[in-house]
Structure 1
Amino acid sequence: MTMEFMRVVTLAEAGSMCAAALAAAGRRGVRVSVGVVDAGGNLVAFQRMDGAEIAGPELAVGKAYTAVANSCATHELTEAAAPGGGLYGLQAASGGRYVVFGGGVPLWWEGRVVGGVGVTGAPDAADDVACAEAAAAVWE
């Protein structure tokens, strides 16, 4: 019997991803929070820029969790979760933990989602997405 190796997101890697997201936010002139979770949606690392919104700890981690749970970027869920969409009400699932607007991206390894990163706080969700993608680029 062979044991299959499952890649995990280490604290050091999560810290590097947080730093990349914050650097991207700094270049964009926005203040954000960033959270990195493992394959089970459990928090590995979190950072919040000085002056970032107070909802950051909940929303950033929620976006990362949602990306893992749905195996897709959270901005891909926005339209489907809106009234009339095929996933309408998704944001109420999992005790309201799902966040269905941009800023969450899954982390992939050998065809499996092994973690996620979530960024929140920018006035425009496109900035959250760009910062999350900068963090994910560190993983890749």
Structure 2
Amino acid sequence: MKHVKKVSRRTRVVTGGALVAAVTLGGFGAWSASATSSAPAAQAAVKADASNKNLTQSTRLTVDAASRAAQAALDAARKDNQRVSVAVVDRDGNTVVTLRGDGAGPQSYESAVKKAYTAVSWNAPTSELAKRLEQAPNLKDIPGTLFLAGGAPVSAKGAPIAGVGVAGAPSGDLDEKYAQAGVAALNK
């Protein structure tokens, strides 16, 4: 059995006091960080509204709509007995929904996301973009993109708002057919 050195009363009092001070100051810091401020920046944020000419608004798919598009693409692939992954990204390329179909290959998930990102970035189907590589081969070097058929953009008033990407079928033409089925589901 080890011998434990007894700590003096003075050391215990000093250590306890330091602990109480740290907890109190930490609590005060958390409280003050969450307190409302009357600083000019906070007041300016309150005045920002839709009629402010310094702001823009963007249209985004709801999670329900993105889920509906992804499910429609996956269902179209299942109907043809294809094992694919589907991704829907927003205008900024952030993934909103992904579905990995039963038996889809491990590479299909990342490929679907990249195809969706590529489609929304250029507001064009990735099959068309793949043809552009002939004139501009360096396009393929842009991070996060994949210039293979299987991505379809979603537009509102002519502007891209999302992308649907499908990967895993034996051809990009099939992947893109399923991605288009996902986009079509948004118009129903």
TM over 0.5: yes
Q: What is the SS of the residue equivalent to 2:170?
A: coil
**Larger % of strand: which?**
1
1:50-88: CA deviation from partner (whole Å, max 9, x where unpaired):
11010122100000000111111100011221xxx2221
Q: Which runs of 4 or more aligned residues in structure 1 lie more than 6 Å from their structure 2 counterparts after TM superposition?
A: none
- The count of aligned residue pairs is 135
CA RMSD of aligned residues (A): 1.4
Q: Which amino acid aligns with 1:101?
A: L
Show the counterpart of 2:128: 76
In structure 1, how many angstroms separate the alpha carbons of the residues matched to 2:122 and 2:63? 23
Mapping 1:43-62, distance limit 5 Å:
43-62=95-114
Q: Assess if the C-alpha contact under 8 Å between 1:39 and 1:115 holds in 2.
A: yes
TM-score after normalising by structure 2: 0.68
Greater shift, 49-58 or 5-14, is seen at 5-14
In structure 2, how many angstroms separate the alpha carbons of the residues matched to 1:103 and 1:34? 10
**Aligned residues with identical type, % of pairs:** 36
Q: 54, 61, 65: which is aligned to 2:117?
A: 65
Show the counterpart of 1:91: 140
**Larger % of helix: which?**
2
Q: Which has the higher contact order (CA 8 A, sep 6+)?
A: 1
Shift in Å at residue 30 of structure 1?
Answer: 0.6
Q: Which amino acid aligns with 1:131?
A: Y
Q: Assess if the C-alpha contact under 8 Å between 1:36 and 1:43 holds in 2.
A: yes
Q: What is the SS of the residue equivalent to 1:17?
A: helix
| Structure (1 or 2) with the larger CA radius of gyration | 2
Mapping 1:1-140, distance limit 5 Å:
2=51, 5-81=57-133, 85-94=134-143, 97-140=144-187
In structure 1, how many angstroms separate the alpha carbons of the residues matched to 2:171 and 2:110? 18
TM-score after normalising by structure 1: 0.91
Q: What is the SS of the residue equivalent to 1:20?
A: helix
In structure 2, how many angstroms separate the alpha carbons of the residues matched to 1:123 and 1:115? 25
Q: What is the SS of the residue equivalent to 1:115?
A: strand
Shift in Å at residue 90 of structure 1?
Answer: 1.2
In structure 1, how many angstroms separate the alpha carbons of the residues matched to 2:91 and 2:112? 16
1:17-66: CA deviation from partner (whole Å, max 9, x where unpaired):
11101110011111100000001010000000111010122100000000
Show the counterpart of 2:47: none
